[in-house]
Amino acid sequence: MFPWHQYLFGLIFLAAGVTHFTKPHWYERIIPPYIPAHKSVVLLSGIIEMVLGFMLLNADTQSGAAWCIIVLLILFLPVHIYMLQDERASLNLPKWLLILRIPLQFGLMYWAYQYV
């Protein structure tokens, strides 16, 4: 039995992964232009998020999943910076929220580290 917050974290990653398939156009808009194959990147990252969400909810794989989530969140930082720089990529979110998302990434990394 895991703590409730571990289930919540796993479900967040599962849900985020699913939205890569239900709303791929959102994710395609926020990928910086220097990253190729936006559609493929969106689908692959969605699959990775779902797999890591499931892995986090398995005692045998939770530590590896937590480390992979930390790496994934580091890899996503350029996306958050790009959203601040490009109006179309901002998804019409307020600037303060886009700024807040960057330290939130580090909070999520810390949260993932709790399961290493």
| pLDDT tens digits for range 18-63 | 999 999 999 999 999 999 999 999 999 999 999 999 999 999 999 9
Question: Residue 99: pLDDT band by 50, 70, 90 thresholds?
Answer: very high
The CA distance from 81 to 66, in Å, is: 23
Percent share of the chain, pLDDT over 90: 99
Reduced to 3 states (helix: H, G, I; strand: E, B; else coil), residue 106 is helix
Query: Model's pTM, two decimal places?
Result: 0.93
- Percent of residues in the chain assigned helix, strand, coil, to nearest 5: 75, 0, 25
Under 8 Å between Cβ of 43 and 21: yes
Neighbour count for residue 14 (Cβ, 10 Å): 17
Return d(Cα 33, Cα 110) in angstroms, integer.
29
Residue ranges of domains in the chain: 4-113
8 A C-beta contact, residue 46 and residue 19: yes
